[in-house]
Structure 1
Amino acid sequence: MKGKALKYIILLATVSIAGIFLIQFSFIKSSYNISDKQFKESASVALKEVAWQILVATGSTENFDSITPVEIISNSNYLVNVGTAFDKDLLKSNLIRELKKHEIYYDFEFAIFDPSEQQMDERTLVSSNSDEKPSSYDFPVNEKYSNYFAVHFPDRSSYFNSRLSIWYFLTGLLVLVVFFFGYTLSVIIRQRQLSEIQKNFVNNLTHELKTPISAIALSANVINNKTILENPKRLFEYTRIIQEQNTRLARNVENVLNLASIERNRIKLNLEELDAQQFLLKSIEIFKHSTSGQKANISTKLSETKAILLADKFHFSNLLSNILENAVKYCEQTPEIIVSFEQRKNHFELCFADNGIGIPREYRKKIFKKFYRIPTGNVHDVKGFGLGLDYVHKIVKAHKWKIKVEENPKGGSIFTLIIPN
């Protein structure tokens, strides 16, 4: 799948999902408003019936047509004007019966206005199972009426949940589908990236193996000719080419084998105490005699205080070699590398500052991934497999150290190893 087509698919999927969620939430909001309206209507009818039953019990039904029984103060607060005196027990029994008749099986609080005291009488909470206990709700006082009671529904969520449960279920199902869709899409993207990285790795590997093999074959054909004996200088030249290309071929094969070995087994470190300064100087000196090291100018800034590190000598040496080799490989001028070692309060800092091409900020975390190489378009002037820094990261992690990459103010990059003291 081409990158542009994948982008369009992701964009279309995002817009579609956003649209579906918008419609879903619109339906939920509409259903909530309808349920709220239904609750108000049911509660109003039930409370109007309560007012009528009280008037019937007190023999004052002639007042019913002259009053407005129910006034909605808020979504959960109702005031009921009766227009005549009544007692609490009568009110309570009618409230329980009428609310259940209209399918309102929820807790409610009520209080009766006392005209003599000009305040709400004892407040009472009645639960769904008809249990009664004192209420602390502060009912508002209405100056227009003298004989009325107020009802408050403290929690209407169960009412709405029962009516919106199907929408909650569908919304949860939609979220689940979106989650699996997003996960599938992320897997596809990762697989595509991995496929691209592996393809580049195979291409680089093929080139890195074919080049020395071709050079060795060509040199061998020349040496196989008897006339070469007449020109010893030429013979030695082709022998040197064979030796160099054989070393290059062996190094490439070793890199791949090391990768396979690390992937199969966890790295087992043979930790020992190392004199940091002496080990660094020795490793740098060895690197200077390599093909890459001969091209670079390497200087050191090491602390005078003796420092002892606990490290695996073999892997630590390879780690240093990989970082130095990268500094030389990715430099378009004479490589200048400064290796510094400083002792901080709780850790050591080993820095490698180079004057190479640098690493853009967005790639600094990715360079430690296996097979990853910074994209350069169709330019392939620097060959490699993307294994060196992956190996470095694995060794750093195995030692429980840290590594970071920063921009060198003078141009290039600075690799810093943070080693706990």
Structure 2
Amino acid sequence: MSRNTIRLILVVGTLSIIGILLIQAYWVIKNYELKEKEFDLTVRLSLKNVAENILKYNHNSSPLVDPVAEISPDFFTVKVNDKIDSNLLGGLLRNEFLKEGIKTDIFYSIYDCMGKRIDVTGMVCFDSTSTCTATVTGNLPHWNYDNFYFSVYFPEREKVLLSGMKLWLISTIVLIVLIIFFAYVLFVVFQQKRLSEIQKDFINNMTHEFRTPISTILISCEVLKDSKIIDNPQRLNSYAAIIERQAHRLNQHVERVLQMAKIDKGNIQLKHEQINIHDLLLEALSKLNSSGNNESLTIEYNFLAENPIFMGDRLHLLNIVFNLLDNAVKYCEKDPKVIVTTEENNSDIVIRLADNGIGIALEYQKKIFEKFFRVPNGNVHNVKGFGLGLNYVKNIVKAHNGHIELKSQIEKGSIFTVTLPRNK
């Protein structure tokens, strides 16, 4: 499956998921608005019936014209042209709302316009096992004409509305779970495809990296089998040196793979010993010389650290410096030059390697330390490798409680800064 096809599937799948979520959200909101209207209408009708029953109880035949006023979605006032008995009001409220199937606590107040005061307050509780506790948010309105009215407040209005939407809420939760599961499956599929591509690239690169030195060694061995070569010691030594360099190269590849296997298993065992960082840097250069990869390499040393002694693992630290120097040589289109600087920063020792290589684009600088990652464009394709070196460097630095930073510009080179805290 091509990359464009995968991207198309990803885009279509993402847009489909967003569309489904938007449609679901739209219908949930519409259903909630419908429940609000239904609750409002039911409350108005029930409160009007309560007001009419109060007048019947008082033998008052005065007509009621639009007695219910909605002050807020959970607060209503009801005009009654007569005195209101608090016990009667509580019973009527309970009966009317039970008829409509609304079982939510109601806080009510009776306002006496003759005395300009709130005469009585009370609660109607539908759950006998709970204690009604609620307060009215805000003040009761003061009307400009004399009348008797009562107010009702629903402290759990939102709970009532949501309880009527259980099916919608459950379906929404199920939909979200399914979308999360689908996204996870999609992630796993693409991750597996990426790992498959990485594995394929790794095998191809490893095959090439092993085949080249092996072929060189085989050719050199064929030459050495010639009996006449004994008469030419210079040529004999030359081919023996070739075999030695290629054997070192093979050994480095094998060691690199084995080191990463140990890191993956969490089997990094550091052997702490006293190290002179300056001597270590010179040793890394000597190791690079023996590999035959630095014919035109120029190294400038700025050893500014007054105390270069560090407690760490000599072998692993030597390897990370070698990897950084080796990359500086391989990823350079001209004569490679590396400026190696050591500094002291409080209790830390800092190693900085600046090269004049091809540089790394900003978009890849955070990924460059990932295992198997190799910059996909430009001259990087001309250099074979496993994509393990910088990941190994980062893990070893981290194992020493340090950190590594990268600054790079295309065609201007890269600067790797390794900061190692001293082991007190």
In structure 2, give the amino acid aligned to 1:351.
Answer: R
In structure 1, give the amino acid aligned to 2:107.
Answer: E
Residues 58 and 108 of structure 1: CA distance in aligned 2, closer, same or farther (over 3 Å): same
Q: Does 1:57 align with 2:57?
A: yes
Given that 1:28 and 1:167 are in contact with CA atoms closer than 8 Å, whether structure 2 keeps it comes out as: yes
Given that 2:336 and 2:355 are in contact with CA atoms closer than 8 Å, whether structure 1 keeps it comes out as: yes
Q: Does 1:67 align with 2:65?
A: yes
3-state SS of paired residue (1:143): coil
Given that 2:83 and 2:148 are in contact with CA atoms closer than 8 Å, whether structure 1 keeps it comes out as: yes
Structure 1 runs (4+) deviating above 6 angstroms are none
Give the CA deviation at 1:420: 1.9
Give the equivalent residue in structure 1 for 2:150. Answer: 149
Given that 2:68 and 2:76 are in contact with CA atoms closer than 8 Å, whether structure 1 keeps it comes out as: yes
Residues 75 and 23 of structure 1: CA distance in aligned 2, closer, same or farther (over 3 Å): same
Give the CA deviation at 1:231: 5.8
- Matches of 1:379 and 1:325 in 2, distance apart? 14
- Matches of 1:246 and 1:304 in 2, distance apart? 36
Residues 409 and 213 of structure 1: CA distance in aligned 2, closer, same or farther (over 3 Å): closer
Given that 2:338 and 2:355 are in contact with CA atoms closer than 8 Å, whether structure 1 keeps it comes out as: yes
Give the equivalent residue in structure 2 for 1:301. Answer: 302
Question: Identity of counterpart residues, as a percentage?
Answer: 38
Given that 2:397 and 2:420 are in contact with CA atoms closer than 8 Å, whether structure 1 keeps it comes out as: no
CA deviation digits over 1:141-196, x for unaligned, max 9?
23356121111212212211211111111111111111111111111222222211
Give the equivalent residue in structure 2 for 1:245. Answer: 246
Given that 1:42 and 1:102 are in contact with CA atoms closer than 8 Å, whether structure 2 keeps it comes out as: yes
Give the equivalent residue in structure 1 for 2:90. Answer: 92
3-state SS of paired residue (1:63): coil
3-state SS of paired residue (2:62): helix
- Matches of 2:421 and 2:217 in 1, distance apart? 47
- Matches of 1:189 and 1:134 in 2, distance apart? 54
Q: Does 1:272 align with 2:273?
A: yes
**Structure 1 gap ranges (5+):** none
In structure 2, give the amino acid aligned to 1:80.
Answer: V
CA deviation digits over 1:32-63, x for unaligned, max 9?
11111111121112111211211111111x21
Larger mean Cα displacement after TM superposition, 164-173 or 45-54: 45-54
1:227-376 to structure 2, matched below 5 A, reads 234-264=235-265, 266-288=267-289, 290-376=291-377
Give the CA deviation at 1:388: 1.4
- Matches of 1:306 and 1:152 in 2, distance apart? 77
Residues 339 and 229 of structure 1: CA distance in aligned 2, closer, same or farther (over 3 Å): closer
Given that 2:245 and 2:290 are in contact with CA atoms closer than 8 Å, whether structure 1 keeps it comes out as: no
3-state SS of paired residue (1:333): coil
- Matches of 1:214 and 1:285 in 2, distance apart? 26
3-state SS of paired residue (1:400): coil
- Matches of 2:375 and 2:146 in 1, distance apart? 81
Give the equivalent residue in structure 2 for 1:42. Answer: 42
Report the aligned-residue RMSD: 2.5
Give the CA deviation at 1:276: 3.1
Residues 34 and 265 of structure 1: CA distance in aligned 2, closer, same or farther (over 3 Å): closer
Q: Does 1:186 align with 2:187?
A: yes
Give the equivalent residue in structure 1 for 2:112. Answer: 114
Q: Does 1:416 align with 2:414?
A: no
Q: Does 1:29 align with 2:46?
A: no
3-state SS of paired residue (1:121): strand
Residues 28 and 373 of structure 1: CA distance in aligned 2, closer, same or farther (over 3 Å): same
Give the equivalent residue in structure 2 for 1:396. Answer: 397
TM-score by length of 1: 0.91
Give the equivalent residue in structure 1 for 2:11. Answer: 11
**Structure 2 gap ranges (5+):** none
3-state SS of paired residue (1:362): helix
Decide which of 93, 96, 104 is 2:102's aligned counterpart: 104
- Matches of 1:22 and 1:93 in 2, distance apart? 45
Query: How many pairs are equivalent?
Result: 419
Larger mean Cα displacement after TM superposition, 311-320 or 81-90: 81-90
Residues 191 and 377 of structure 1: CA distance in aligned 2, closer, same or farther (over 3 Å): farther
TM-score by length of 2: 0.90
- Matches of 1:233 and 1:409 in 2, distance apart? 43
Give the CA deviation at 1:134: 7.7
Larger mean Cα displacement after TM superposition, 248-257 or 363-372: 248-257
Larger mean Cα displacement after TM superposition, 140-149 or 152-161: 140-149
- Matches of 1:173 and 1:166 in 2, distance apart? 11
Given that 1:125 and 1:135 are in contact with CA atoms closer than 8 Å, whether structure 2 keeps it comes out as: no
In structure 1, give the amino acid aligned to 2:53.
Answer: Q
In structure 2, give the amino acid aligned to 1:139.
Answer: L
Larger mean Cα displacement after TM superposition, 313-322 or 267-276: 267-276
Give the CA deviation at 1:392: 1.0
Give the CA deviation at 1:282: 4.2
Given that 1:123 and 1:136 are in contact with CA atoms closer than 8 Å, whether structure 2 keeps it comes out as: no
In structure 2, give the amino acid aligned to 1:27.
Answer: W
- Matches of 2:132 and 2:415 in 1, distance apart? 75
Residues 282 and 257 of structure 1: CA distance in aligned 2, closer, same or farther (over 3 Å): closer
